[in-house]
Amino acid sequence: MGTLAIWAEDFIGVFKAGAETFVALLTGIIPLLIVLLTAVNALIKIVGPERIDRFGAFAARPGLAYLPLRYLVLPVVAVFFLTNPMCYTMGRFLPEEKKPAFYDSAVSFVHPILGLFPHANAGEYFVYGGIAAGITALNLPLGDLAVRYFLVGLVVIFIRGCTTEVIFRIMSRRSAKAQVA
C-alpha cells in the first residue's frame, strides 16, 4: 500500500509541476508575446503593408548586387514583420527559380531572431527559453547570447540562400537535359 501511495503522489506531482509551469507562462512570456505582436502589427500598419510588398518586389531583381537583399535583408524583414509562418509569403515577389532559396533563408532565420524579437516565432520561443534558462543558470548574460545568435543567423541565412540558389540552378539544368533526352 505504501508503494501505491508513493506512486499516486508522484503521479499527481507531475501534474502539479505542469500546473506551476503553466502559471509561470501565463504570468511571464504569454503577456510579453501578446504585447510584442500588438506592437509589430501596429508598426506594420504605420509603415504600410504596400511598402513592405514593394520592397519584396525590389529585392527580386536579377543580379549579384541583389543577393544580399534577397537572402539577407528580405528574410529578416519578412520574419520580423510577418512572423512565422506568414513570412514565407514574401517569396511571392520572387521569380520561381529564386523562391526555394528565399524559403531556405527565411525558414533558417525563424530561430536566430527569437532572442531579440520573440514575437517573430512565438510558437518556438520555448526552445530559446530553454537555452536561455541554461545560460541564466550559469550566470551569463542573455543579451550576449541573443546578439550572437542573431548575427550568426544572418551569416547562415545568406550562405544558405546563395547555396540553395546555385543548387536549384544546377538541378534545373539537369532536369531540363533529362526532359530533352
pLDDT tens-place string over residues 29-63: 778 777 777 877 787 788 887 887 787 778 888 88
The model's pTM is 0.70
Q: Which phi and psi (to 5°) does residue 91 adopt? A: -65, -10
pLDDT tens-place string over residues 116-132: 888 888 778 777 788 88
Of 78, 85, 80, 84, nearest to 161 by C-alpha is 78
pLDDT < 50 positions in the chain: none
